[in-house]
Amino acid sequence: MYKINENYLKLPGSYLFSTIGKKVAEFTAANPDKKIIRLGIGDVTLPLAPVVVDRLHTAVDEMGVKDTFKGYAPDLGYDFLREAIALHDFKARGVDISIDEIFISDGAKSDSGNIGDIFDVDNKIAVCDPVYPVYVDTNVMAGRTGEYNADLGKWSKVIYMPCTAENNFAPELPKETPDIIYLCFPNNPTGSTIKKAELQKWVDYALKSGAVIIYDAAYEAYITEDDVPHSIYECDGAKACAIEIRSFSKNAGFTGTRLGFTVVPKELKSGDIMLNSLWARRHGTKFNGAPYIIQAAGSAIYTEEGKKQTKDMVAYYMQNAKIIREGLTDAGYLVSGGVNAPYIWLKTPDKMTSWEFFDYLLNEVNIVGTPGSGFGPSGEGYFRLTAFGTYENTLEAMDRIKKL
């Protein structure tokens, strides 16, 4: 008789956003007349930029003509897209990344989950707490996290780095040495970020301790302040200790179109073994490439017009972030995030738990947010709202909250 991967049975409950989706669906079924405002999952609401839509159309036409039709995409990505990324995302910021260090994928979520494939199951991971649940859950599936303590909401073999108001939502270097460190800046869920000098400390620590950093920079387009790094490779030595994951979802609205990439520098080695070769092997074996039409559409964001149009999209969401920050502050909430990130992190009022506040907002004012405790034990007593709603709904949501 075959055996299943029993690590899956260790996972408590369902994926955070599936649980929320289910709760909201139940509420809607029971209250069909209520207009719900969704500020929960970080899903975009603006349509794709016109340059992207135009390129999609021409790419579809190319697929319908014998001479320009494309079959399987190169499994590491089309050169035209990797070249644009190397030039505009890295060289423009003084970072030298070659195209064979860039691996195109269908998004940052898959890459941040799949990257664990190239590491031994005995590695010890360190995560921020609260944290994007994919990092932990995929390590649970791989059998890397030990046993779950439901009272603490923690896994026995995971090093948790609390990020709370006390440390300004920035993790401190862990006391126990990890092998793999997950960092995400600008941060999901807290919306916090760190300056370059701070990130340099992490790079130095990883180099010294022999750890690898998985750096999720999916929200870099939202950085508004100077001295906040857009890429970990802006730090000295990072190419020898860090993998960076990027997404087209948040900067260009590709949540439904799916496109992302991972950078694995050739300098990153375990002994003589280049992680770049391992990831190339994994990618080539398990992935058949993001579709040509999507990669072509993605490349349009690097044109002058594309840069302008996507910058406008980011500005639209950041205007929402400001409305939420100011609205909540006026209503007496303690708020952080929303300055270099599309997420606003607030302290729940009256000692409510995160889920109590979720129910309260849903029932009283029909607003959906994300309970902080869903991101880890240190998220308890916090709540996340996203700036990815429409401008009108964001304004209405703040009106409703102020009247509470």
Question: Which residues contribute to the site for ligand MLT (CB under 6 A)?
Answer: 41-43, 109, 132, 188, 249
Q: For ligand MLT, which is the closer residue by CB, 138 or 188?
A: 188
Nearer to ligand MLT, 41 or 181 (CB): 41
Beta bridge partners of 154: 149
> Which residue, 109 or 124, is less far from ligand MLT as judged by CB?
109
CB of 318 to ligand MLT, least distance (A): 17
List the beta bridge partners of residue 243.
214
> Could you tell me the smallest distance in angstroms from the CB atom of residue 205 to ligand MLT?
26
* Least distance CB 257 / ligand MLT (angstroms): 13
Compare residues 188 and 276 and give the one whose CB is closer to ligand MLT: 188
- In the complex, which residue's CB is closest to ligand MLT? 42
Cα distances from 106 to residues 80, 92, 113, in angstroms, run 16, 24, 12
**Distance separating alpha carbons of residues 128 and 379, to the nearest angstrom:** 10
Is 192 known as a binding-site position?
no
Q: Considering the complex, state which of residue 41 and residue 213 has its C-beta at the smaller distance from ligand MLT.
A: 41
DSSP 107-165: -HHHHHHHGGGGS-TTPPEEEEES--HHHHHHHHHHT-S--EETTTTEETTPEEEE--G
Judge whether 72 is annotated as a binding position: yes
Q: How far is the CB of 386 from ligand MLT (least distance, A)?
A: 6
User: How far is 256 from 15, CA to CA, in rounded Å?
Assistant: 19
Indicate the helix (H) or strand (E) that contains 402. helix 391-402
The annotation status of 248 as a binding-site residue, yes or no, is yes
Of 265 and 369, CB closest to ligand MLT: 369
- Rounded CA separation 79/289 (Å): 12
**Minimum CB distance to ligand MLT, residue 157 (Å):** 24
363 is known to lie in a ligand binding site = no
**360 is an annotated ligand-binding site residue:** no
Is 258 annotated to bind a ligand? Reply is: yes
User: Nearest distance from residue 384's CB to ligand MLT, in Å?
Assistant: 8
Least distance CB 17 / ligand MLT (angstroms): 6
42 labelled binding-site residue: yes
Cβ within 8 Å of residue 239, ≥6 positions away:
233, 265, 267, 268
Q: At its nearest, how many Å lie between ligand MLT and the CB of residue 287?
A: 18
Between the alpha carbon of residue 27 and those of residues 35, 289, 373, the distances in Å are 11, 39, 21
Q: Is 384 annotated as a binding residue?
A: yes
**Taking Cα atoms as reference points, which of 195, 183, 130 lies closest to residue 384?**
130
- Say if residue 188 carries a ligand binding annotation: yes
Nearest to 119 by CA among 77, 173, 178: 178
Of residues 130 and 289, the one with the C-beta less far from ligand MLT: 130
Q: Return d(Cα 288, Cα 75) in angstroms, integer.
A: 5
CB within 8 A of 43, min separation 6: which ones?
Answer: 255, 386, 388
Instruction: Kindly state the DSSP code that residue 395 receives in the 8-state scheme.
Output: H
249 vs 366 by CB, closer to ligand MLT: 249
Q: How far apart are CA 320 and CA 393, in angstroms?
A: 9
Residue 393 known to bind ligand: no
Q: Which residues are annotated as a binding site for pyridoxal 5'-phosphate?
A: 72, 108-109, 132, 188, 219, 247-249, 258, 288
Q: Which residues are annotated as a binding site for substrate?
A: 15, 42, 109, 132, 188, 288, 384
Q: Which residues are annotated as a binding site?
A: 15, 42, 72, 108-109, 132, 188, 219, 247-249, 258, 288, 384
